[in-house]
Chains A and B, each alone.
Chain A
Amino acid sequence: MQKTQEKRRTMKQVMLGALVGVLGGALVPLGAAQAAEKIKVGLMLPYTGTYAALGTAITNGFKQYVQEQGGKLAGYEVEYSVVDDESDPSKATENASKLVKRDNVDVLVGTVHSGVALAMAKVARDTKTLLIIPNAGADELTGPLCAPNVFRSSFSAWQPAYAMGKIVAERGHKNVVTVSWKYSFGEQSVAGFKEAFEKAGGKVAKELYLPFPNVEFQPFLTEIASLKPDAVFVFFAGGGAVKFVKDYDAAGLKKSIPLYGSGFLTDGTIDAMGGSGEGLLTTLHYADNLTNPKDQAFRKAYAMSYKIQPDVYAVQGYDAAQMLKTGLDSLKGAKFDKDAVIKAMAAAKIDSPRGAFTISKAHNPVQDIYLRKVEGRDNKLIGVAEKGLADPARGCRM
């Protein structure tokens, strides 16, 4: 009963809309300014739980760009629908569907957790909704599961790890042990590292995995000590990253076996490491002291608005908004047309605080990966590890 009523109401709205459209078209001369069109943005991000800080940073970054554009994107008023995804994959499909079907959003933006993002991508493909992923790095999203309407403003797990593989080989290490959590992001990071490192002549002696989110590293440290590799490559983030780096240092291994990591090891975690992180080398698509004017302006404005320094997550949120704006620009104020927006976004060159990047065929950023060194409380830039690195997008047919 309710459903038929709803249907009737929507029918009515459509008819009314059509009528207004026809009349409007007849009365208003071609190309004249109409009342500003709206764009509905569905933010589906974690605002509670382990990744709450990341979700907030991404939202702040997105809104920062909209604010810089005078509260509009390409002249479109932005209307937000916000859902806390709790980083819970079991609720992801329902949450995403709610935004698409109930709130009728034009574009979905989310999320941090790869498992949740995979479910969102499925909803986006099924409903043909435009999706911009501002963090989740699972290779599949722009690999086997790529789709014309799915974009990513962040990175693939493969990218920073691959760049580090080359660096570690260049620094003369031949024999490396890797440690990571046993879940897809960790395994993809290790695979990316291994690919570049072995291509450059190195050998991964052993891959150690422990179940997520276990953080009892002592047995592995003992094993590393007895294997005596030239270096160790790890993927950990958040509390696990802090604990690993501290334990590694406390076990005395930092002195004899250098430690390398994907950039998440030292992002937002340096303070908590309390000195144990000093000197660590990591690779990521962002660093703390980039010299481009865009980044300097961004950092200043962000710190003014939110009273904290931005991080890589804020940059990814900011760039999600930039990508959307580039797409909307192509419409020149006309009604939202997804296909035109997608075409423009795919061809875009984004002037990001991380440095300009383009979009790959599979819709992942083609970007510079930086080599950074922990100095004090910063991830100091010491060079470009890979220039314009594109994810191989294996399995993507598009």
Chain B
Amino acid sequence: MRPVFFVLTFLGVMALCFWAYRENYATQAALRDMGRLQNEIASLREALALQRAEWAYLNRPERLRELATLNFDRLGLLPLEPVQFGAAAQVSYPAPMLLPGDDLFPDISNPVDVTGQFSTEPAPSPVDGQFP
């Protein structure tokens, strides 16, 4: 019985040694990894701070004002005016959506007489996609 116990103990010690050896190297690898990640985080943080600063620099009111002036033809941006405040009631509801079964022309019950004259001038043609 005793030799068996000794052999088993020896094997157990060897197994624990093997486990400790593995754990030691895994820990060192994890620490190295951690250090690398910390460095990466630090440099990313630095880059982030720099990009925040750059964002703030590019969005400084002075530059935005100049850009709005330069691109006034395309954007037509002007400072906010008091008259631009509206009431919720002024916003019109969107037209109701037509469902496939809906009648495109509901019954027209109040026809209107339309009179006019034919123009001798040629019909206006669109300029830049818009009628003058």
Specify whether A and B are partners: no
Residues on B facing A (Cβ under 8 Å) = none
